[in-house]
Amino acid sequence: MKFSKQKTLEPEINLIPFIDVLLVVVIFLVLSTTYSKLTEIQLNLPVADTKNLQAKNREVHIGVSSDGRYVLQGHVVMDTQVESLAKALTKASKDLSQPVLIINADAKATHQAVIHVMEAAQRAGLGQITFATQQSNAAR
Protein backbone atom coordinates (compact mmCIF):
# COMPACT_ATOMS: atom_id res chain seq x y z
CA MET A 1 0.00 0.00 0.00
CA LYS A 2 1.38 3.15 -1.06
CA PHE A 3 0.07 6.21 0.57
CA SER A 4 0.83 9.29 -1.29
CA LYS A 5 0.93 12.52 0.40
CA GLN A 6 -1.70 14.76 -1.06
CA LYS A 7 -0.67 18.25 -1.67
CA THR A 8 -2.70 20.58 0.41
CA LEU A 9 -3.76 23.73 -1.25
CA GLU A 10 -2.71 26.89 0.44
CA PRO A 11 -5.69 28.96 1.49
CA GLU A 12 -5.96 32.00 -0.69
CA ILE A 13 -7.47 35.27 0.41
CA ASN A 14 -9.45 36.81 -2.35
CA LEU A 15 -9.48 40.58 -1.87
CA ILE A 16 -11.77 41.49 -4.74
CA PRO A 17 -15.08 40.92 -2.87
CA PHE A 18 -13.65 42.75 0.14
CA ILE A 19 -12.73 45.75 -2.02
CA ASP A 20 -16.18 45.70 -3.64
CA VAL A 21 -17.90 45.84 -0.27
CA LEU A 22 -15.65 48.66 0.94
CA LEU A 23 -16.29 50.62 -2.23
CA VAL A 24 -20.06 50.31 -1.72
CA VAL A 25 -19.71 51.50 1.88
CA VAL A 26 -17.59 54.48 0.84
CA ILE A 27 -20.06 55.46 -1.89
CA PHE A 28 -22.93 55.19 0.60
CA LEU A 29 -21.12 57.40 3.12
CA VAL A 30 -20.25 60.02 0.51
CA LEU A 31 -23.82 60.23 -0.74
CA SER A 32 -25.45 60.30 2.69
CA THR A 33 -23.13 62.83 4.34
CA THR A 34 -24.42 66.35 4.74
CA TYR A 35 -21.86 69.06 4.24
CA SER A 36 -21.98 72.13 6.43
CA LYS A 37 -20.58 75.44 5.33
CA LEU A 38 -17.31 76.03 7.09
CA THR A 39 -17.44 79.78 6.45
CA GLU A 40 -20.53 80.36 8.58
CA ILE A 41 -20.07 81.93 11.97
CA GLN A 42 -22.57 81.23 14.71
CA LEU A 43 -23.28 84.44 16.59
CA ASN A 44 -25.43 85.10 19.60
CA LEU A 45 -26.55 88.68 19.15
CA PRO A 46 -27.51 90.79 22.14
CA VAL A 47 -31.16 91.40 22.85
CA ALA A 48 -32.30 95.00 22.94
CA ASP A 49 -34.40 96.22 25.84
CA THR A 50 -37.16 98.31 24.30
CA LYS A 51 -38.18 99.73 27.67
CA ASN A 52 -34.85 101.48 28.12
CA LEU A 53 -35.25 104.74 26.23
CA GLN A 54 -32.43 106.60 27.95
CA ALA A 55 -30.04 105.75 25.15
CA LYS A 56 -32.21 107.66 22.67
CA ASN A 57 -31.42 110.89 24.50
CA ARG A 58 -27.68 110.50 23.99
CA GLU A 59 -27.56 109.36 20.35
CA VAL A 60 -25.78 111.31 17.63
CA HIS A 61 -26.70 110.12 14.12
CA ILE A 62 -24.46 110.62 11.12
CA GLY A 63 -25.29 109.39 7.65
CA VAL A 64 -22.77 108.52 4.95
CA SER A 65 -24.13 108.49 1.40
CA SER A 66 -22.77 106.41 -1.44
CA ASP A 67 -21.14 109.48 -3.00
CA GLY A 68 -19.30 110.45 0.21
CA ARG A 69 -21.59 113.16 1.60
CA TYR A 70 -22.31 113.38 5.33
CA VAL A 71 -25.57 114.19 7.14
CA LEU A 72 -25.23 114.93 10.85
CA GLN A 73 -28.44 114.98 12.89
CA GLY A 74 -30.45 115.75 9.73
CA HIS A 75 -28.20 118.58 8.52
CA VAL A 76 -25.83 118.21 5.57
CA VAL A 77 -22.17 118.74 6.43
CA MET A 78 -20.64 120.73 3.58
CA ASP A 79 -16.96 120.18 4.35
CA THR A 80 -15.97 116.51 4.30
CA GLN A 81 -12.55 116.97 5.91
CA VAL A 82 -11.89 115.09 9.14
CA GLU A 83 -11.28 118.27 11.15
CA SER A 84 -14.57 119.87 10.15
CA LEU A 85 -16.41 116.60 10.84
CA ALA A 86 -14.79 116.48 14.28
CA LYS A 87 -15.92 120.06 15.01
CA ALA A 88 -19.47 119.26 13.87
CA LEU A 89 -19.54 116.10 16.02
CA THR A 90 -18.24 118.03 19.02
CA LYS A 91 -20.94 120.66 18.53
CA ALA A 92 -23.69 118.03 18.13
CA SER A 93 -22.64 116.10 21.25
CA LYS A 94 -21.67 118.94 23.61
CA ASP A 95 -24.90 118.84 25.68
CA LEU A 96 -25.06 115.02 25.89
CA SER A 97 -23.61 112.87 28.64
CA GLN A 98 -21.80 109.82 27.29
CA PRO A 99 -22.98 110.28 23.68
CA VAL A 100 -23.25 107.32 21.32
CA LEU A 101 -22.40 107.88 17.66
CA ILE A 102 -24.59 105.89 15.28
CA ILE A 103 -23.19 105.63 11.76
CA ASN A 104 -25.82 105.09 9.07
CA ALA A 105 -23.63 104.26 6.07
CA ASP A 106 -24.96 103.41 2.64
CA ALA A 107 -24.04 99.88 1.52
CA LYS A 108 -22.15 101.38 -1.43
CA ALA A 109 -20.32 104.02 0.60
CA THR A 110 -16.56 103.78 0.47
CA HIS A 111 -14.65 102.47 3.44
CA GLN A 112 -12.63 105.67 3.50
CA ALA A 113 -15.75 107.78 4.06
CA VAL A 114 -16.68 105.65 7.09
CA ILE A 115 -13.09 105.75 8.36
CA HIS A 116 -13.21 109.56 8.16
CA VAL A 117 -16.28 109.53 10.42
CA MET A 118 -14.59 107.19 12.89
CA GLU A 119 -11.44 109.31 12.97
CA ALA A 120 -13.52 112.47 13.46
CA ALA A 121 -15.37 110.75 16.32
CA GLN A 122 -12.07 109.92 17.96
CA ARG A 123 -10.92 113.52 17.66
CA ALA A 124 -14.26 114.74 19.05
CA GLY A 125 -13.90 112.44 22.05
CA LEU A 126 -16.78 110.11 21.17
CA GLY A 127 -15.81 106.70 22.48
CA GLN A 128 -18.98 104.77 21.77
CA ILE A 129 -19.62 104.10 18.08
CA THR A 130 -22.14 101.75 16.53
CA PHE A 131 -23.38 101.03 13.03
CA ALA A 132 -27.03 100.98 11.97
CA THR A 133 -28.17 98.09 9.78
CA GLN A 134 -31.43 96.83 8.40
CA GLN A 135 -32.81 93.34 7.99
CA SER A 136 -32.54 91.74 4.59
CA ASN A 137 -35.73 90.72 2.82
CA ALA A 138 -34.84 87.05 3.23
CA ALA A 139 -34.71 87.38 7.03
CA ARG A 140 -38.11 89.02 7.32
pLDDT on residue 46:
59
Q: Is the pLDDT of residue 115 over 70?
A: yes
Q: Is the pLDDT of residue 23 over 90?
A: yes
Domain locations in the chain as residue ranges: 55-131
Q: What does the pLDDT look like over 103-112, one tens digit per residue?
A: 888 888 889 9
pLDDT on residue 85:
92
Per residue, what are the HEC states of 48-96? CCCCCCHHHHHEEEEEECCCCCEEECCEEECCCCHHHHHHHHHHHHCCC
* Three-state DSSP state, 130: strand
Nearest alpha carbon to residue 117 among 66, 70, 55 = 70
pLDDT on residue 138:
56
For domain 55-131, the CATH class is alpha beta
- φ and ψ at residue 63, rounded to 5 degrees: -105, 140
